[in-house]
Structure 1
Amino acid sequence: METGERRTATERTWMFPPVTGWTFDQVKDLEVPFDWELVDGVVVVRGETALWHNHVRGALVSVLRAAETGPYAAVSGQCVMVDEHNVVKPDLIVCDPRGLDVFEVECAPVEKVALAVEVVSPTSRQADRVRKPALFSANKVPYYWRVELDRDQKLAVHEYWLNADTLTYFPAPSHPVHQHKLITELPFPVEIDLDSLVGF
């Protein structure tokens, strides 16, 4: 039996990390019937998401792909390597793939991420509003969008910019919350009809 730092996570042991926590190499081949992230060396289960959430995520990545300008690329479902004990999977990212072997890389290095986007679900509120932005800002991701569905089933996108001195996010000065339409220049110019994203 493997011991200490050499052991790898299995379907039976993933919930019992070593004292120092799992590393990505120890959990990357984990075969379990759910999606997960690695947070401080602990495997954290990602909850199921509703149809509207998945539709909005897919529509957002399509719009961002159509608008992207070099060197950026919009990608959904991509894990981001913060460090060996922290690997997260935002709903979508905009990254700079230059210098990466895109056919071999498993997780986008956090320093390559220009924008992280989270679509908030009932089971991800704390993570998307507190933990994820703190993690991304501490690791110098320049922009963060938090997408919320309000009581009228309309989308609101909270746009945040990085304060490079404090490594914290602050609301975008001229448009902290986008409703009905999102218009921004960063990380590249894009205009999004938010009301259309929840339509089927």
Structure 2
Amino acid sequence: MEDVVPLLLLLLCVSSAAAQLCAPDASNGYKVRLSLLTALGDEAYVWNDSEMFLFRAAMAFAMRTADGQNYNVSNVLVCDETPRVSFWFVVTSPLNSSLLVERRQVEEAVRKSRNRINSAFLLTDNTLEFLGIPPTLVAPTPPSSPPWLIVFGVVMGAVGAGIVLVLGTSVMQSRREKKKAQTGFEEGEEESRAEGNGAASDSVYNLSFSDDDRLTQM
């Protein structure tokens, strides 16, 4: 019994110190709000002490990752918890539990480990809110092909089209020159000459038929 009394006094002192460090609207604190029903519907789990322990452990992990110091669950103090799952928390220094870690350090830790924290509770930025810390932006989806490869493909396509055009023009010019060498005329000139000859031949009058007509009339 004598051993229990000092332990209770110690717990009361720790609780009192935590109450002084963690309070609503604390300068170095953040309010957290969870929307379990919105996120999970009928599969929503019950928020209890174990879930709160997991949150504190996740925050200690985030602080370790960002700061590199040995944060523990005891460095994450929680207060003003409500049944609709909202609460305030602060983080104390692992070197001095009476000193609070600055807001910017906590915010940086949350941003760096936001996906890990969300995954621990099956939530998202919109259903696990750190009020005062805007939701993280989704990283843009990288293209399936590197941008330089796309540009290279466009340039090579244009070059290929130019080569085909030049080759086609050269072939047509070569055919024209070959045709001119064989006939002495280019294709256009030959066609116009043939048309001219046809027109001239159509206008020739056959004299033999003319003489026959005169003899028949006599």
TM-score of the pair, normalised by structure 1: 0.29
Higher strand share: 1
Which structure's CA Rg is the greater one? 2
